[in-house]
Chains A and B, each alone.
Chain A
């Protein structure tokens, strides 16, 4: 964000305020970690998202042991797991003390492409087969929840960023044009905006989803969700940007640029939109959670990411059945990750508002 060596610009001054807010910095680091795990999910998680073993259905989180039978310190290991049925034919998982599986660094496992290019089959940690490692338990089909949450982060976290990016480009463009040109252009664009804002977001989301065939492949669904949310999100931003650009266009420097014969598009891009930047950055930060929650909601209802693939909402859909939660409370974990991400974005967004927008500062 730093530009040159002139006196502190708005962003540099804002940076100084921002770093003083320890919570915000902490949350920013957490977000950084979350996104890093999402990028390296395939390496960091012991299994692929679709690696299943039905004999581990709803296997509870495994206990990692640090001490051997004699009580001496040892390499961390898990016991093999076996199950028996209780009186209502539910599986009861027990540790089989006869067999130990040591947790190893960089064992061979499912193959993947690191960063999408480098083919590799080693994972950060794991156990040798036939043992399985379920640190946070397994889902109904015996897939490792730890791995699936990491894989799910890829979808859930990236949808927020990409969706916001698209809707902001749209919102900035439409808002900037409407405010700059005014008159009929403004009228038409704003009526379109209002049309989108008049439909409750959730209904619009459902209707937009319905406009596409239910059985798309996962990548198409992923793109579709992004498009849907960008479609819903741009209108409110466009309205605010329009107001700003309406007042900005009267400024002397814009008139000067116009007098010098700059094209309208260049004036909007280089003289008007940059001045809406601080508002936009705050709004971006505060609207990403909406996208993440929206994706989760859609996937939760079974209209988003489909099963073998993982997203946090999709993982949570198993928790829609209360019986499943009672059986395996750990399937609520993806929900806590949604919560963690959302709260971090909120804290960072609030801090950014304090840092970048002196007029919006609330007392207290």
Chain B
């Protein structure tokens, strides 16, 4: 297993390198850099700009700039964000935590709802509850997340009771720890629900399909034939086998959350890395974009790896090493 993990990581290193080079080219290939806007500002002397451009190697040829960045990244130095005027690491740390918070809460909500719903749909297959849930999931899958976010914000603005975006209230500093936690939860609610709706819809369909597959197997017939009560048949025999493939999805879900959350983050003004990426790209903040992109790639990689590991752990038939 460990051998497999190490091999996977080694194989993906060139891919990460490729991504970083591609991103670097994309972001630097257009003429102009972050300091161009400052050059228009009469208060900033050309000397200062030249000084900073030299400091961050922006005056060097592209390839050299890239190599400098690469060398720094090996020393875990992600560079400096011009826009935020702080080291990239510092911003990324805060933003990554925020996104993580949002992702985890929506992950929990999704799985806590989608699995039971999927089971209900499969058990009451083709009854009205199954049909309603199927229709609901179909509708949810077809609404773009950004539109959901706008609709939710609008609904809240009419009804009231929840904050309209952001992460903390203005007066959060004055609150006690308990109140701050509640305040955070209230801010989390809309983006979490918006992100979860789509994935619940997708996941419950998969769960339903898996359970139906399992229920069609012969060991279920045998279990029923020997007179086991129906709930035991479903929960002890069918469910365990139906849930196996879902475990892989958990890993993929984890990696997909980052990208899926970006738009919702931006619309709900949640200060995560999705919103950060947009700002960075707009400001042409090279190192911030690079760090964001690499983070996205690494997390996707880890998610996929996690999926493979979970699968091997859950299913003894799968072994990655060759004997």
Contact = CB atoms under 8 A, between A and B. Distances in A.
Interface of A: 191-192, 194-195, 198-203, 206-213, 289, 293, 296-297, 300-301, 316, 319-320, 322, 325-326, 329, 332, 335, 338-339, 342-343, 346-347, 362-364
Contact of B150 (A198, A289, A316, A342): A316
B184 interface: no
B29 A202 contact: no
Pick the most buried of A202, A320, A329, A363: most chain B CB atoms within 10 A of its CB: A202
B213 interface: yes
Nearest to B215: A363
Nearest to A313: B146
A183 to B, nearest CB: 17
Contacts of B143: 339, 342
Contact of B30 (A195, A213, A296, A300): A213
B14 A343 contact: no
Contacts of A212: 30
A362 B209 contact: yes
Interface of A (DSSP majority class):
helix
Contact of B263 (A195, A199, A297): A297
Interface string B136-169: 0011011110110011011001100000100000
Interface in B21-44: 22-23, 25-27, 29-30
B281 to A, nearest CB: 4
B30 A211 contact: yes
A200 B27 contact: no
Contacts of A201: 259
Given A206-B281, A212-B30, A293 B259 contact: no
A363 B22 contact: no
A223 to B, nearest CB: 16
B96 to A, nearest CB: 14
9 contacts: A195-B19, A198-B15, A202-B263, A210-B26, A211-B26, A289-B142, A335-B150, A343-B139, A343-B142
Nearest to B293: A203
B297 interface: yes
A203 B277 contact: yes
Nearest to A300: B146
Nearest to A294: B144
B258 interface: yes
Interface residues of B, number: 56
Contacts of B18: 191-192, 195
Contacts of A326: 154, 157-158
A210 B289 contact: yes
Nearest to B141: A346
B19 A211 contact: no
A12 to B, nearest CB: 28
Nearest to B157: A322
Nearest to B147: A335
Contacts of B209: 362-364
Contacts of A316: 146-147, 150
Nearest to A347: B138
Nearest to A339: B143
B278 A206 contact: yes
Nearest to A343: B142
Nearest to B31: A213
Given A195-B22, A210-B27, A364-B208, A203 B259 contact: yes
Contact of A202 (B27, B153, B262, B301): B262
Interface in B227-244: none
Nearest to A289: B142
B154 A364 contact: no
Contacts of A208: 26
A295 B294 CA distance: 24
B279 to A, nearest CB: 10
B250 interface: no
A199 B297 contact: yes
Contact of A195 (B15, B146, B296): B15
The 10 tightest CB contacts between A and B, nearest first, are: A200-B259, A343-B142, A211-B26, A335-B147, A200-B296, A210-B281, A293-B144, A342-B142, A202-B262, A206-B281
